[in-house]
Amino acid sequence: MHNSPAHTRNSATCHRAVPSNSLCYHDGFAQHACKRGKVLTCKNWPARLALWAALSALIVGNSAAGFQNHAPVSLESVLRQLDGESKDFRSLSADVERTKVTVVVNDRSTETGHILVRGDRMLLEMKAPDPRTILRTGDNLYIYNPGLKRVEEYNLGKNRALFEQYLLLGFGTQGRELQKHYLVTLLGEPDLDSKKTVQLELTPKSEQVRNNISKIHIWLDESSWLPVQQQFFETGSGDYFIIRYSKIVRNPDLGDAHFKPHWPKGTEKIKPQG
């Protein structure tokens, strides 16, 4: 499988020495470091994986069209709105586009995929330019690489709470839960793709997280309270990645079959340690 030069550079960065307190995420995706079929492990890989479970989309709520024509919103009213909109969230499907920006060399690389979420289950299928599948079922996490014909299996175990902290960013998040893990700031109501949005800035309260991600910006469509975009700012480098969501369906009927770990015959199964 041939990777673009931008993707090759990004992949290579995952093989440098990583401090023991690092999140060890790879460009914001739950993708374990690999090169020429050799698996590298990282002490804190669950936090790296969790950042994408950020793949994982954003704050989803009920339709709130009546909220669009209003006086300027306050942070308190936004958080109350999120509390109300979260009550009957059950599942979601959406298309995903993620762009990684490396500031120093002015490089941009984009990949696309589709995500399904139901309860503590998530299926993320990335299609181009680097196909892979990330499946989470409860405490079990699978990363399937069709090019290598290999699936890596992990158990979240005691790291489940950290993983779910990032899922809180994604689906049916209550406003008070956001405040529990982040310093939340209302930045305004900008137009984005001809949509009126609420833009929030989230500064992680966890020092471990701030060592890698300094802040997160999220945009919510005021007409539906569905995610439009989120942006993660990497600490120190100035690099960032933007995740955009489209064709979102709230509470689709997703059966168990969508989240079963079925891999092609002959797939190598490994359980990296660390």
> pLDDT tens, 122-140?
999 999 789 999 999 999 9
Give dist(CA 58, CA 266) in Å, integer: 36
Query: Is a pLDDT exceeding 80 seen at residue 13?
Result: no
On whether the CB atoms of residues 85 and 225 are closer than 8 A, the answer is: yes
- At 142 the pLDDT is 96
What pLDDT is attached to residue 52?
53
Structure tokens at 160: 């489940």
Tokens of 56: 């994982």
Centroid of chain to Cα 273: 23
Q: Which fold is adopted by the domain 5-257?
A: outer membrane lipoprotein receptor (LolB), chain A (2.50.20)
pLDDT of residue 51: 54
Asked whether residue 156 carries a pLDDT value surpassing 60, the answer given is yes
pLDDT reading at 40 higher than 50: no
Helical spans, DSSP H, in the chain: 5-12, 45-53, 75-85, 160-167, 175-181, 207-210
C-alpha distances in angstroms, 215 versus 100, 136, 185, 231? 16, 25, 11, 8
More confident position, 183 or 71: 183
> So what's the pLDDT on residue 150?
97
Amino acid at 67: F
Mean pLDDT of 158-173: 70
Is pTM beyond 0.75 here? no
Cα gap 86→173, rounded to integer Å: 6
Distances (CA, A) of 108 to 47, 52, 62, 172, 255: 24, 18, 34, 30, 36
Q: What is the pLDDT of residues 83-137, one digit of tens each?
A: 888 888 889 999 999 999 999 999 999 999 999 999 889 999 999 789 999 999 9
Tokens of 178: 């956001």
Average pLDDT over residues 217-221: 90
Token representation of residue 34 = 């690999």
Q: For position 26, what pLDDT does the model report?
A: 39
